[in-house]
Amino acid sequence: MTTLAQKPEIHEGLKGVYFATSEASFIDGEVGKLLYRGYDIHDLAEKSTFEESVHLLLHEKLPTRAELAAFDRELKANRALPEPVIQVIRLVKDAHPMDVLRTAVSALAAFDPDTEVKYDRGNPQPFTEATFRKGIRLTAQAPTIVAAHQRIRSGLEPLAPRNDLSQAANFLYMMFGKEPDPDDARLVDVDLVLHLEHGSNASSFAARVAASTLADLHCAVVAGIGTLKGPAHGGAAEAVMQMCLDVGDPDKIEGYLEDRLNRGERVMGFGHRVYRAEDPRARHLRERSHQLGNKKGQPQWYQMLELIEKRMERYQSRGIFVNVDFFAGSVYYLLGIPEDMFVPMFALGRVPGWVLQCLEHYAAPELLRPLTWYTGPMDLPYVPIDQRS
Give yes or no for residue 228 binding ligand COA (CB under 6 A). no
Nearer to ligand COA, 301 or 362 (CB): 301
Give yes or no for residue 232 binding ligand COA (CB under 6 A). yes
Give yes or no for residue 292 binding ligand COA (CB under 6 A). no
Kindly list the distances between the CA atom of residue 379 and the CA atoms of 1, 279, 376, 385, in Å, as whole numbers in the listed order.
7, 50, 10, 18
Pick the piece of the chain touching ligand COA (CB under 6 A) from 204-212, 251-259, 268-276, 290-298.
268-276
Within 6-95, residue ranges assigned H as helices are 41-47, 50-59, 65-77, 83-91
183 in catalytic set: no
Nearer to ligand COA, 93 or 260 (CB): 260
Kindly list the distances between the CA atom of residue 154 and the CA atoms of 89, 175, 348, 353, in Å, as whole numbers in the listed order.
13, 10, 20, 30
How far is it, in rounded angstroms, from Cα 30 to Cα 196? Answer: 21
Give yes or no for residue 323 binding ligand COA (CB under 6 A). yes
User: How many binding residues for ligand COA (CB under 6 A)?
Assistant: 14
Nearest to 279 by CA among 321, 225, 334, 341: 321
How far is it, in rounded angstroms, from Cα 348 to Cα 151? Answer: 17
**Least gap, CB of 312 to ligand COA (angstroms):** 7
Give yes or no for residue 273 binding ligand COA (CB under 6 A). yes
Give yes or no for residue 351 binding ligand COA (CB under 6 A). no
Q: Tell me which DSSP letter residue 114 carries.
A: T
- Other C-beta atoms closer than 10 Å to the C-beta of 4 total 10
Pick the piece of the chain touching ligand COA (CB under 6 A) from 123-131, 177-185, 270-278, 327-335.
270-278
Give yes or no for residue 271 binding ligand COA (CB under 6 A). yes
Give yes or no for residue 325 binding ligand COA (CB under 6 A). yes
Contact residue for ligand COA among 209, 225, 268, 356 (CB under 6 A): 268
3-state secondary structure 119-142: CCCCCCHHHHHHHHHHHHHHHHHH
Q: Site mask, ligand COA, residues 14-43, x = CB under 6 A?
A: ------------------------------
Give SS3 for 25. Answer: strand
How far is it, in rounded angstroms, from Cα 210 to Cα 127? Answer: 15
Give yes or no for residue 352 binding ligand COA (CB under 6 A). no
**Least gap, CB of 305 to ligand COA (angstroms):** 13
Contact residue for ligand COA among 101, 105, 236, 335 (CB under 6 A): 236
Give yes or no for residue 345 binding ligand COA (CB under 6 A). no
Give yes or no for residue 267 binding ligand COA (CB under 6 A). yes
Which residues have a Cβ under 8 Å from the Cβ of 17 and sit 6 or more positions away? 11
Rounded to the nearest 10 degrees, what angle do helices 325-334 and 236-247 cross at?
Answer: 70
Residue type, 57: L
325 in catalytic set: yes
Label the pairing between strands 25-28 and 33-36. antiparallel
Among candidate residues 149, 272, 284, 290, the one labeled active-site is 272
Label the pairing between strands 39-40 and 33-36. antiparallel
How far is it, in rounded angstroms, from Cα 100 to Cα 232? Answer: 20
Contact residue for ligand COA among 11, 90, 266, 295 (CB under 6 A): 266
How far is it, in rounded angstroms, from Cα 389 to Cα 385? Answer: 9
Instruction: Pick out residues in 301-320 that bind ligand COA (CB under 6 A).
Output: 320
Nearer to ligand COA, 272 or 290 (CB): 272
**Least gap, CB of 123 to ligand COA (angstroms):** 40
Contact residue for ligand COA among 39, 50, 270, 321 (CB under 6 A): 270
How far is it, in rounded angstroms, from Cα 164 to Cα 149? Answer: 22
386 in catalytic set: no
Chain contacts with ligand COA (rule: CB under 6 A): 232, 236, 266-273, 320, 323-325
Residues with catalytic function: 233, 272, 325
